Structure 1
């Protein structure tokens, strides 16, 4: 589709501008969005309430293009993982997690990840490129096309797949616009979550740009340990990160909260002292902590904290007034659990090669 614009990359404002340049009426935006996002019609010839002249023009200058599905795997617990091709032998992964009262889709924002968090399989694959808005939104549409016939729905979308969303700001923000737009997916702001390792300048911009939920991959409450686990901490240490979190919490007029994610690594960050440090750090912050049992992958030497250790850690947080939950591991048998997404990445950073050596 060389030189054609993929309409999945355009939010409502951009579509208005696109149709204006074509000399089409403004209502064409609503008509097109209904065909794509409500009716799942992707052939311009079938969009019969658009004029024939406009349909012919759209075929010349635009397309609605999806990445190819490489594999689709069903876990025993109902989790579904798709691997999709993004060109040049690169693949990314997305995961659907069904629960009694919700269906969460975990999507990717980059091919690989450049942040190299030591407990994450994606980080070990290196980094190739950012995904476009179209490639991000296509993940949600692909999942809907597979899930809807089975009577399943997507109630929540989380940017917790491959990549650091806030290193791909514009594409992610535009995708969020579409996820929130009633003309497309119509999700509430509380049901769309961006997870970040702490790209502070982008966090501050996000606070004003998109009113979605925020999750912070924290994993340690002191800089020495976080420098090791989450290397971006060397650039944006915890004190700086927490100031950016305060900016987010106080932006806008609606009440906001932050989910702090904390992977439980045996003998590394799971002691009672670590729990006390975390309690002190989050005292008075409008936040919840999500304790995540580490999910092993071949390149890692970390081990998962014991159930008793996680419970003890959680109890210390509870006793200090910190709202806390422990994430149940899902999709582990198809490598779809948190931290296990790897895809297939032609690493441009050479970081993966350096690690192997």
Structure 2
């Protein structure tokens, strides 16, 4: 339906002004249209101060871009909400809103499915179906703000998909979401999570954006990391640590190492000691994530006491570490769980 048309939500304000000039209109119309999009306009007819002739022209060459809420679940445990969004092509993605006392954080998807193959993750079971366009990533936030009436202040690119495997669209999304007359979400309030595609981590560092980088580590050993996440065949632990150091050097931002604790697989005290050696002296933090059960997998989370012993080993060795509190545990809060059940 929209194959030959341009999605207007893919533009920053400046790009919108340039686009209007390419179709023979004044640049200020771009500012007006950009403003209407962030006021929630769903169609060109909603744009009351745009002449009908321009609206008709826009209808022929462009579309605004809208995804729809297919399903919403609200946690009874905390204020977490989980959304399934229906895309224009019938695919489904999921997004989580975490409502804290002092901020609203949204965990967004940037692919339909994922091809990274991490063994504990539900998102990757069916592989990658397609990349999301920048506007489809953006619209998850817009629709949640509209639904809840709350401003989203923080973003984590940790939903379905690998952001650096959809690098060009992720880059454009970061520009759009930071636009001061749009959502105006500060780069320091955005965290991008990656499995460790080392060359793209370096490219991201070269952009010079002060976003937060989170690296999925899951083991200090190459052999075991390959078992847990097949992408590690391409990039060794040394490769990703070098890329993290490059990121720190370029951005002066602390890197978070995410470590999913799997009972009997990667949760030994020796592994904690070897992580401490690996990360010694780095500007970093370790986020320990006891895994969520996935029906298609047999992995279990370690006992609580064991989790905190693992953390204590890191902290004794001067590596700051926290245990992630599970949000929305009663509504399938982990990546990919709800989408698979719904399908």
Q: Quick one: which of 316, 326, 335 aligns to 2:332?
A: 335
Distance in 1, matches of 2:259 and 2:64, equals: 39
Please state how far the C-alpha of 1:88 moved relative to its aligned partner. 5.0
The answer to whether the aligner puts 1:289 opposite 2:290 as a matched pair is: no
Which residue is 2:300 aligned to?
303
Native 8 Å contact 1:162 1:341 kept in 2: no
Distance in 2, matches of 1:236 and 1:229, equals: 13
Distance in 2, matches of 1:214 and 1:50, equals: 41
**3-state DSSP class of the match of 1:262?**
strand
Which residue is 2:159 aligned to?
161
Please state how far the C-alpha of 1:31 moved relative to its aligned partner. 2.1
- Equivalent positions of 1:117-156 (< 5 A) are 117-148=118-149, 152-156=150-154
Native 8 Å contact 1:179 1:192 kept in 2: no
Native 8 Å contact 2:42 2:66 kept in 1: no
Which residue is 2:249 aligned to?
250
Which residue is 1:193 aligned to?
191
The answer to whether the aligner puts 1:324 opposite 2:321 as a matched pair is: yes
Native 8 Å contact 2:196 2:240 kept in 1: yes
The answer to whether the aligner puts 1:56 opposite 2:52 as a matched pair is: no
Deviations 1:161-213 (A, max 9, x none): 00111110111111111111111111111111111001111111111236121
Q: Identify which range, 173-182 or 2-11, moves more after superposition.
A: 2-11
Which residue is 1:354 aligned to?
none
Native 8 Å contact 2:248 2:254 kept in 1: yes
* TM-score, scaled relative to structure 1: 0.90
Please state how far the C-alpha of 1:11 moved relative to its aligned partner. 2.6
Native 8 Å contact 2:219 2:225 kept in 1: yes
Which residue is 1:352 aligned to?
none
Structure 2, unaligned runs of 5 or more: none
**3-state DSSP class of the match of 1:124?**
coil
**3-state DSSP class of the match of 2:20?**
helix
Please state how far the C-alpha of 1:325 moved relative to its aligned partner. 1.1
Distance in 2, matches of 1:305 and 1:244, equals: 30
Which residue is 2:43 aligned to?
43
What is the number of equivalent residue pairs in this alignment? 339
**3-state DSSP class of the match of 1:122?**
coil
Cα root mean square deviation, aligned: 1.9
Q: Identify which range, 271-280 or 208-217, moves more after superposition.
A: 208-217
* TM-score, scaled relative to structure 2: 0.94
Which residue is 1:228 aligned to?
227
Structure 1, unaligned runs of 5 or more: 348-357
Distance in 1, matches of 2:257 and 2:55, equals: 47
Which residue is 2:274 aligned to?
277
Which aligned segments of 4 or more residues in structure 1 are displaced greater than 3 angstroms? 48-53, 339-342
